[in-house]
Amino acid sequence: MDVDLELDDGLAVITIDRPEARNAIAPATMDELDKVLDAAADARALVIRGAGDRAFVSGGDLKQLARIRTEDEAVAMALRMRGICDRLAAFPGPVIAALNGHALGGGAEVAVAADIRVAADDIRIGFNQTALAIMPAWGGAERLAALVGRGRALMLAGAGTLLGADEALRLGLVDLVLPRDGFEQGWRALARSLATRPAQEIKQVMSGSVPAQEAARAFARLWVADEHWQAAERVMSRGK
């Protein structure tokens, strides 16, 4: 299996586990990603990561994708993986890309499909498809532009620039950088907090597609829930 799924109390963790290929995406990996996203549909938060500490995703698996030789085949492959990245972006709850290692080319495209990118401090990230005389094809160019601005995105992707974690943080491409020795504990703590709090509802409102009336109803459903009153009682009791 190329992809593992861990489900734990509202948190789904997807691990791309292809160490022999630095977690590169092959056609079979795409099939498995679709299946695990189906299985994770009811989770309140989702994490996607790579196995090990060398690569998050190193892009597409060139040895396997080299079989694609016609334009129609290339279109089909691009749309296939773009659809998976679109599914990550449209997931109802918060999605974290835990950048345990380098995120290069298509790997950077997978990373920017997430809502939040948490990086170990020694990783590099970059849209370096131009080194292969191609361009981002999985929706990453558009998402990069939305994150860092069109001009900066064109410079980064057009030149194939690789960024360290701190520089990516400064540009807004990464949201949180953690020391390598505390990386696993750090992203898991963040993911659990998002899975156990109403972050899913907050994400939906932030999308801008929820009318004001429905946003108010989402708030009201949380307001009348037992969890709210239990938490409110704990807060109010501190002043007694």
120-160, pLDDT tens digit by residue? 999 999 999 999 999 999 999 999 999 999 999 999 999 99
pLDDT digits (tens, 9 = 90+) for 205-232: 998 878 899 989 989 999 999 999 999 9
Query: What string of DSSP letters covers 138-182?
Result: SSHHHHHHHHH-HHHHHHHHHHT-EEEHHHHHHHTS-SEEE-GGG
Q: What is the CATH T-level fold of the domain 3-194, as seen in this structure? A: 2-enoyl-CoA Hydratase; Chain A, domain 1 (3.90.226)
Are 157 and 129 contacting, i.e. CB atoms less than 8 angstroms apart? yes
The distance between the two most distant Cα atoms of the chain, rounded to a whole number of Å, is: 73
Nearest by Cα to 109 from 80, 138, 133, 86 = 138
Close Cβ partners of 127 (under 8 Å, ≥ 6 residues apart): 105, 108, 109, 136, 140, 141, 144, 156, 157, 160, 161
- Per domain, the residue ranges of the chain are 3-194, 210-237
Cβ-based burial of 145 (10 A; exposed 0-12, middle 13-18, buried ≥19)? middle
Nearest by Cα to 144 from 89, 77, 101 = 89
Q: What is the pTM of this model?
A: 0.94
The pLDDT, as a whole number, for residue 155 is: 98
Are 54 and 102 contacting, i.e. CB atoms less than 8 angstroms apart? yes
pLDDT digits (tens, 9 = 90+) for 11-28: 999 999 999 999 999 999
Q: Is the predicted pLDDT of residue 240 greater than 80, yes or no?
A: no
Residue 214, SS3 per DSSP: helix
User: In whole angstroms, what is the distance from residue 26 CA to residue 68 CA?
Assistant: 12
